[in-house]
Amino acid sequence: MNSATTRQAHVAMRGGIDPRWGKLLVVWAALLTVPLWLPFLGGYTALAGRVLVLGLAAMSFNILLGFTGVMSFGHAAYFGLGAYGAGLALKFLAPSTPLAMLCGTLLGGLAGAIVGAFIARRRGVYFAMATVAFGQIGFYIAYTWNDLTGGYDGLRGFVRAPINLGFTSIDITNNGTLFYYFLLAMFAIAVALQGVLLGSPFGRTLLAIRENERRARFLGIPIERHIWLSFTISCFFTGFAGSLYALLNNFADPMAMHYSLSGEIVIMAVLGGMRSFWGPLIGAAVFVVVQDYISSMTVNWMSFVGLIFVLVVLFFPRGLLGMFQRRETA
């Protein structure tokens, strides 16, 4: 009897619900009611939107790290490309939010597919360093191509456009609460696709590669092809998160492609729990909230984030969410 069947049997004997469904209900109840309770904690909807966008980026990256077992320190490049793709589409093609998201997703994802084809055969530190190198190439191009990207000052002159449904139009330009729910809807679609993907036979194959690559190769699994697919899919979702980032800020800048953001995305995934599906979202929430509140008091806010990260790694190596999962298992 496998662990999932055993868990279901224990739940049936207790007469309760599966903890996984309970956790899912808690997550979505919290996200759906954010505009109601966040102001009482001194927060604002733009902060919650930032959590969703960076949480989606961290969950997308975690397809590669947490579920395939491959490290990338250059994922900010595809996040930034998604932001630039969305911004350029709004500025030069058409004032269409869906078109902007499509362009950003394709730009980030196709760039990831090309880079992944070059580095899929590398392992360990060589793979990680190759991702940094390609990421910094993208950052340098965005930093120096002033005529297209705006250089260091970033890409300006575009705003998110209302969503035209044919029979009605949803104005997400000025209504912060409405735009938050738009971001939440896009987040829900993306994580639902990720959940289906990771629960499929393909997702189980990625787990086999993570646990024992040599044994997976002996079983006839084409390792390099699956790592390339995992990297590409991860970049498509990261590019989608980047396009939402551009819509959130009405701005795209080269720092969204810098390796420092890649490091922050890694911190979010590890902080929340890279072996769990929702862990990176929890990590992103902690990171963004700490950054927002502590940076208003001191410029050394990253020291506090670093301290929290060290404590979590030392005492909760499975991350914040992994700590609760261990208690449930026990």
**Could you give the number of structural domains in the chain?**
1
**How many of the other CB atoms lie within 10 Å of CB of 250?**
15
Measured CA to CA, the distance from residue 25 to residue 29 in angstroms comes to 6
pLDDT, one tens digit per residue, over 163-195 is 887 777 788 888 788 999 999 999 999 999 999
179 lies in which domain range?
A: 43-259
Whether residue 321 lies inside any domain: the answer is: no
Whether residue 171 lies inside any domain: the answer is: yes
Whether residue 82 lies inside any domain: the answer is: yes
Measured CA to CA, the distance from residue 319 to residue 199 in angstroms comes to 21
Whether residue 269 lies inside any domain: the answer is: no
Measured CA to CA, the distance from residue 143 to residue 162 in angstroms comes to 30
CA-only gyration radius of the chain, Å: 20
pTM, full prediction: 0.89
pLDDT, one tens digit per residue, over 85-117 is 999 999 999 889 999 999 999 999 999 999 999
Whether residue 80 lies inside any domain: the answer is: yes
Measured CA to CA, the distance from residue 75 to residue 251 in angstroms comes to 19
pLDDT at 36 over 60: yes
Whether residue 1 lies inside any domain: the answer is: no
Contact 188, 52 (CB under 8 A): no
| pLDDT value of position 305 | 81
Whether residue 211 lies inside any domain: the answer is: yes
| pLDDT value of position 325 | 61
